[in-house]
Structure 1
Amino acid sequence: MTAVYGLGRRARSPQGTGTEPVEAPRAARTAADAGALTVRLIDAADRARLAGLPDRARELLARAGHETAADAVRGAAQLVIGQLALQDGPAADAREVLLLAAELLGAVDGRRALAARLAAMEAAWATGDAAACREALDHAREQPEPDQRLAAFRAGMSSVMDGRLDRGRHQLREAATAAGAAGTPDGPEALLRAGGAALVAGDLVAACRANSRALAVARARGPRILVAQALERLAYGELRAGRHARARAHAEDGLRTALGTGQRNLAAHHHAILALVASVEGSRAAVAEHASAAESVAAPHGLAQAATLSQWARARADLAHGRLPEAAARLGPLVCAGPRRGHFAVRMLAVPCFVEAAARTGQEDAARAAVAEFARWAAQGADPQAPAQLARCRALLTGPEACEPLFTTALAHHDQHTGDFERGRTQLLYGTWLRRQRRPGEARGRLRDALVSFERGGAHGWAAQTRAELRATGDAGQDRPHGELALLTPQQLRIARCVAEGATNREVALRLSVSPRTVDHHLRNVFAALGVRSRVELSRWLDRAEKTTAHP
């Protein structure tokens, strides 16, 4: 996403292909002629890159012979090389090339040098190296900048990298001011920069507005590579706002566009977003497919942000299907202290999922440590959903006396923001707690609200989990088993399905919030009712019975 922060001189025709004739006559050329040809080839390479033709851009750079040219020419070539590497290559390598470009350009072309520094910051961001981001920003401040919004962006990002998010948010909001408003003549680069600033500041409304405007401008005027970048920023903003169907639509479009323009690193981010959407919509196969695709690029190219997002998606899918130990195991290294900690801009977003899994699997100490850090982060206004999530996390870690007021507080915070999915998760956990407190009537009310939230938000896997909880409360409104499945009570059927998936009695107890002794008791009755003698036989019986019920 280099061009998001790019300030270099735009090619004369951003829609160009870079294939315009650049060859000089075959007659002998002077040194000046050779130098002019080198410059033209580098400019043509940049036009090809902007047009989404990276192979053509590399071919033109190879013909340019820039290695022995003056610093300004070599710097321009290194800037294009670094931007190509940022689109498809190890991000750490791209950062070093871009820093070299900035050094070569520093004394002769301040604006391109600044563009190289900001692109180096973006490369460092992709790798999750906050110190490298700060280094690039510190050097960028050496270049004077008359654009106040750009200056505010640089200052705000520097504050964020220093751990002063509360201060950085104000500066980043200044950078995003008026971006995306009708009549504002910003180009796509400035709009994407404003959208990125708003995302970091937690202003999701401004972020979606600026990124949507950037998409419209990039489609209308180019350059082509910015279309996929705008779609990625917009999809991520919609995801953060809880509008998962919109996020999926933008990410699917962005994935096609990124692959078509040779931006594999950006495609990995789109795959990660699609994995997160699938973890809400309930398709474990889609989660695995997109997460694997993201990780296949993220691992060799050092894309820590895409890797963290994909692991979060896998863990959230585990949660949706009651696989609590697996979710806690995936997220623990990402959100807790240690060398495998996740990307600095993502890990706090995954803390509520970790706390839910850890608190319900006996890992209270790790969950409390994560909540303490999450509370400090939430206090800085980093995400509109954070106050509700914090109250929910605390409810999971407190005694019965304080639990209910915390759930009530969480729901009050949810009422102030959009996002059916997070509200549904709080209602589901609250209803489950009420059921365990032997208050089934109150539990049914909360669980029905959760079901509506999940169905409205397209969270099918979570809706299925909620329906199962409702059946456990004796809700007569839930569908009863048909055919051979009617031999089992709703609770027995829930346990049988978990066992058929390979869960142990203890894992089933964790999923259903009951004791292992209760699971053992119900499972013995299931075996007796069905005349089966093993878990394998139970799995086969259940598979046959459900197929018969689905296709009588």
Structure 2
Amino acid sequence: MTSSTTVHSPLRLYGRSGELAILEGLLARLWQGDGGALVLAAPPGLGRTSLLHEAAAVHRTRGPVLHADERGLPGPEALRELAAGRPLLVCADDAHTWDRPSRTALISAARGLDTAGRLAILITADDGPAFADLPTLRLGPLDEDASAALLDRLAGGAEGRLGGAPGVFGVTEGLDPVVRAELLREAAGNPRLLTALTGRLTPDQLAGRTPLPCPLPGAEEVLAAHAERLDGLPAHTRALLLLAAAAQEHEPAGAGADALLLLRAGTRTGLPRDFLDGVLFGAAATDGFLQRAGSRLHFSRPLYARAVLHHAPPARRRATHELLAALLAESGDHPVPLASLVQLACAAPGPDHALATRLEAAAASPYPHGQRSSALARAAGLTGDQPARSARFAAAAEQAALAGDPPLARALLARTGPSAGEPRHGLAPYVHGLLALRTGPAADAHEALLAAAELLGPYDHRRALDALVGAAEAAWVTGDAVGYLEAMGRVGPGPYDRAFAAYRGGMCAVLAGRTEAGHALLRQCLQPADRTAEPAALLRAGVAALVLGEVAVACRTGARALAAVRTKGPDALLPQALEHLAYAELRAGCHAAARAHALEGLHAARRTGQPNSSVHLHAVLALAASVEGPAEACAAHSDAALAGAGPHGLAQAATLATWARARADLAAGRSEEAAARLGPLVRPGPRQGHFAARMLAVPCYVEAAVLAGRAVEEAGELHAAVAEFARWTARTADPQAPAQLARCRALLAPAEEADARYAEALGHHERAGGDFERARTQLLYGQWLRRRRRTREARTPLRDALVAFQRCSARAWAERAAGELRAAGEQGPLVRPAADGVLSALTPQQQRIARCVAEGATNREVALRLSLSPRTVDHHLRNVFAALSIRSRTELARLLGPEGP
């Protein structure tokens, strides 16, 4: 086949471009006289027959196609005669089902193709060993994108929304996202199974208007096809596979089966011990069904386990589950272990109210959240009463959300029914709110959780309280102080501890403007006395410490909260715990530690499906990169945070990301850009920044505005911002705040006062510690001295700033300090050479001006960056042009660009 040839199909083969390319290569070689054989090996449903038909359809344009079956394959002479005129393609579909003599003849024909170059044989078979000696292309499941595209085609989702033709099943409206996720999860990349599942759902179910059935119907044919291989296996192997498939049912998804449990169960059923030892602990084969990983056994493909259970007679399957239940009950450290009850649920022939009640009660014990979710889902499946069934599905969804599996939580919620007449259905809105808090618009989460608290209040005080706390958190991240007060104000008297009461009262008082009283209350919950405090309590203590400005306490408490989450769970809290700790470390000046924890948190947020946490962690990483660099990393993390913060209303993350970008601008000397970014955040008005972060950005804003030459035209706004920052400094315990306040006053002070203000700021820094903020003050002081031609005096603070920036890995800031130091006449080894080659003939000041102009800055912008007058910049620039023998800014940009000398 030439490169211009394309493959056409009535129903597109999704996700098989690589396999189609291999088939095209086989056909191209055949047409050139070089035959060959290829086996398409795959379990049922992955499209091996469709690929065979695709290849046959393409080849018919160039030669004949022979569809062979076990009734007879022409001998070598007949095949050579058929291939004498035009290239011949022989297609043998499902050849693993042929009898042994027919398979042997097919293999012999495929091996003898070197004598018939105009002949190719294409075979499809299962992934067993029958054709292992021939060249084989093994098909894997479709990836998520291909599965989603196929699902859109089947249900008409994409075309229906655009007004096109309905899908294969006549559905012309978009799939509900939750239904989509459940279908993709259940199909596991098997296109035939996805087609069957979709075809058995009604339009209302596909659109999410009615609950999904449990289990989803439609898998029977595919599972039966997978089970065909079982019939030819020895009886011992079939028995062990049934035990292994049943033993996975009480385990978390993907955990496999415990080999020791299988050994006990196999011994109890009379399987030979040497056979069990060989398969479970040795190298004995099970025809590719089982794989061993340490003490666990896994099916090579998940559908095989389901096929084994589906293929077993119902009575034998129930007996297997009952045996496993008995063995688990014997070995458990609980009167009736949860795993044992799950096995009994698998053995139940229909609804069983008593067993469902026992499962629900056992799931209240401190098992891992994933196991509790699975048990509650089983309990719901055994429940005949619709309201109780829906409530148990909602409870299972809650545990799935806590386990860090939002797609599963949504799938379980999709099985809950209407809420009319059942007050316990406040649980479903509660779980919807929890999911929205981590994955959707925060304003939606706020309203959903307030509504859930109203429904849950009369009968479930704990969840009602958690709903209100979640609603307050949603309001906090959106910057809605009124919404926060509303949610916390609904918390009535109840059985919560004194620390929570102090936290609630303190936070409400602070946001209501009663700062002194609020701080007094918040100090009561800083250090939970109980070393076994719950992770949520420790996270609240960390928030209280940051509000108070007790940065060191926030770091210690954040570390305790992280340890508690890793020890006790839930997994869903891990990204939040890492975010809180990283933010505390940023406030403490520990930027490298903050970056490490934030990166870990970002991975955890992606693994647990929490995009809102990812947004906040990108903002933290942007802040760390604004100190450590590079500037590209800061920009990338800032852009990622802003892209997610906007649609979901995450004002806190947007404020931090904008502040980070402005701080990177300051490091690069772009004070105009920094001031433009920060001005809206710190000024009063509808666009102002988040109430918890505004004051933290004020010192950067004052610095940027002054360096940009706005000190006169914006004097009123600057002095107002500094006055507000002074009031905040008087209330906070943040050790850096007094030094930052003195630095702001020094920037705005007249020349005769500035020296004293800078000295005051440096004195505060000596008491507070922290390299980065102290170095920033020294940099500004040295720059101020140099601007007043006190260059000898300027070198000492600039030199100290450079060393401090280098010590805390603030590379961009160190470069800015080095440039100032060179401009002050420093020639020592501490200052790296500014340039070599083309710029070596320029003075340090001329080099700085040349680089700025090459970046596109105007004379006025260069003057603002370097604290010079425009006339001085113009004078130096003329000398630069003369020294470099150039006549324009364009030539300078080319000279200093990446392709220059």
Task: Give the alignment's TM-score, normalised by structure 1.
Answer: 0.93
Match of 1:482 in 2: 836
- Are 1:76 and 2:427 counterparts? yes
In structure 2, give the amino acid aligned to 1:312: W
In structure 2, give the amino acid aligned to 1:22: A
Match of 2:416 in 1: 64
8 Å contact kept, 1:238–1:247:
yes
Q: Secondary structure at the match of 1:163?
A: coil
Deviations 1:52-103 (A, max 9, x none): 11010011111021522522x1212211110100010000010000000111
- Are 1:295 and 2:650 counterparts? no
- Structure 1, 233-242 or 164-173: larger mean CA deviation: 164-173
- Are 1:53 and 2:408 counterparts? no
In structure 2, give the amino acid aligned to 1:479: R
Instruction: Kindly report which structure 2 residues correspond to 1:127-526, keeping only aligned pairs within 5 A, or say none.
Output: 127-140=478-491, 142-178=492-528, 184-364=531-711, 365=715, 366-381=717-732, 383-477=734-828, 478-480=831-833, 481-526=835-880
Query: For the residues of structure 1 that align with 2:613 and 2:516, how far apart are their CA atoms?
Result: 29
Query: For the residues of structure 2 that align with 1:22 and 1:169, how far apart are their CA atoms?
Result: 45
Q: Secondary structure at the match of 1:318?
A: helix
Residue 237 and residue 25 in structure 1: after superposition, are their counterparts in 2 closer, same or farther (change >3 A)? Answer: closer
Query: For the residues of structure 1 that align with 2:823 and 2:797, how far apart are their CA atoms?
Result: 13
8 Å contact kept, 1:227–1:254:
yes
8 Å contact kept, 2:427–2:452:
yes
Query: For the residues of structure 2 that align with 1:23 and 1:219, how far apart are their CA atoms?
Result: 27
8 Å contact kept, 2:548–2:733:
yes
Shift of 1:264: 0.6
Query: For the residues of structure 2 that align with 1:65 and 1:382, how far apart are their CA atoms?
Result: 51
Query: For the residues of structure 2 that align with 1:53 and 1:11, how far apart are their CA atoms?
Result: 20
- Are 1:104 and 2:455 counterparts? yes
Deviations 1:443-486 (A, max 9, x none): 11101110111111111001000000000111111233332221
Query: For the residues of structure 2 that align with 1:256 and 1:280, how far apart are their CA atoms?
Result: 22
Residue 374 and residue 77 in structure 1: after superposition, are their counterparts in 2 closer, same or farther (change >3 A)? Answer: same
In structure 1, give the amino acid aligned to 2:483: A
In structure 2, give the amino acid aligned to 1:501: E
8 Å contact kept, 1:15–1:221:
no
Query: For the residues of structure 2 that align with 1:66 and 1:157, how far apart are their CA atoms?
Result: 37
Shift of 1:220: 1.8
8 Å contact kept, 2:376–2:395:
no
Shift of 1:408: 0.7
Q: Aligned match of 1:40 in 377, 380, 392? A: 392
Query: For the residues of structure 2 that align with 1:363 and 1:488, how far apart are their CA atoms?
Result: 31
8 Å contact kept, 1:11–1:47:
no
Q: Secondary structure at the match of 2:490?
A: helix
Query: For the residues of structure 1 that align with 2:577 and 2:682, how far apart are their CA atoms?
Result: 28
| Number of aligned positions between the proteins | 531
Shift of 1:531: 0.9
Shift of 1:311: 0.6
Task: Give the alignment's TM-score, normalised by structure 2.
Answer: 0.57
Query: For the residues of structure 1 that align with 2:673 and 2:771, how far apart are their CA atoms?
Result: 25
In structure 1, give the amino acid aligned to 2:789: R
Query: For the residues of structure 2 that align with 1:125 and 1:419, how far apart are their CA atoms?
Result: 29
Deviations 1:351-377 (A, max 9, x none): 101101112223232211211111111
CA RMSD of aligned residues (A): 1.8
Query: For the residues of structure 1 that align with 2:684 and 2:811, how far apart are their CA atoms?
Result: 33
Query: For the residues of structure 1 that align with 2:557 and 2:476, how far apart are their CA atoms?
Result: 20
Match of 2:131 in 1: none
Q: Secondary structure at the match of 1:68?
A: coil
Query: For the residues of structure 2 that align with 1:379 and 1:411, how far apart are their CA atoms?
Result: 18
In structure 2, give the amino acid aligned to 1:319: L
Query: For the residues of structure 2 that align with 1:255 and 1:430, how far apart are their CA atoms?
Result: 38
Query: For the residues of structure 1 that align with 2:890 and 2:405, how far apart are their CA atoms?
Result: 54
Shift of 1:392: 0.2
8 Å contact kept, 1:14–1:50:
no
Match of 2:466 in 1: 115
8 Å contact kept, 1:22–1:37:
no
Residue 107 and residue 115 in structure 1: after superposition, are their counterparts in 2 closer, same or farther (change >3 A)? Answer: same
8 Å contact kept, 2:838–2:884:
no
Match of 1:6 in 2: none
- Are 1:534 and 2:888 counterparts? yes
8 Å contact kept, 2:622–2:660:
yes
Residue 103 and residue 486 in structure 1: after superposition, are their counterparts in 2 closer, same or farther (change >3 A)? Answer: same
Query: For the residues of structure 2 that align with 1:25 and 1:280, how far apart are their CA atoms?
Result: 52
8 Å contact kept, 1:291–1:311:
yes
Deviations 1:412-441 (A, max 9, x none): 111122321111100000011111222222
Deviations 1:12-65 (A, max 9, x none): 4344252347356989x75xx333322221111111001111010011111021
Q: Secondary structure at the match of 1:22?
A: helix
Residue 78 and residue 217 in structure 1: after superposition, are their counterparts in 2 closer, same or farther (change >3 A)? Answer: same
Query: For the residues of structure 2 that align with 1:539 and 1:454, how far apart are their CA atoms?
Result: 29
Shift of 1:543: 2.9
Between Structure 1 and Structure 2, whose CA radius of gyration is higher?
2
Residue 206 and residue 14 in structure 1: after superposition, are their counterparts in 2 closer, same or farther (change >3 A)? Answer: farther
Structure 1 gap ranges (5+): 1-8
In structure 2, give the amino acid aligned to 1:516: P
Residue 11 and residue 153 in structure 1: after superposition, are their counterparts in 2 closer, same or farther (change >3 A)? Answer: farther
In structure 2, give the amino acid aligned to 1:414: H
Deviations 1:262-284 (A, max 9, x none): 11101100000001111111322
Shift of 1:146: 4.2
Query: For the residues of structure 2 that align with 1:377 and 1:11, how far apart are their CA atoms?
Result: 46
Q: Identity percentage over the alignment?
A: 58
8 Å contact kept, 1:114–1:143:
no
Deviations 1:212-260 (A, max 9, x none): 1111121122110111111000000000111100000000000000111
Query: For the residues of structure 2 that align with 1:410 and 1:420, how far apart are their CA atoms?
Result: 13
In structure 2, give the amino acid aligned to 1:254: G
Q: Secondary structure at the match of 1:63?
A: coil
- Structure 1, 416-425 or 91-100: larger mean CA deviation: 416-425
8 Å contact kept, 1:145–1:151:
no
8 Å contact kept, 1:13–1:47:
no
In structure 1, give the amino acid aligned to 2:710: Q
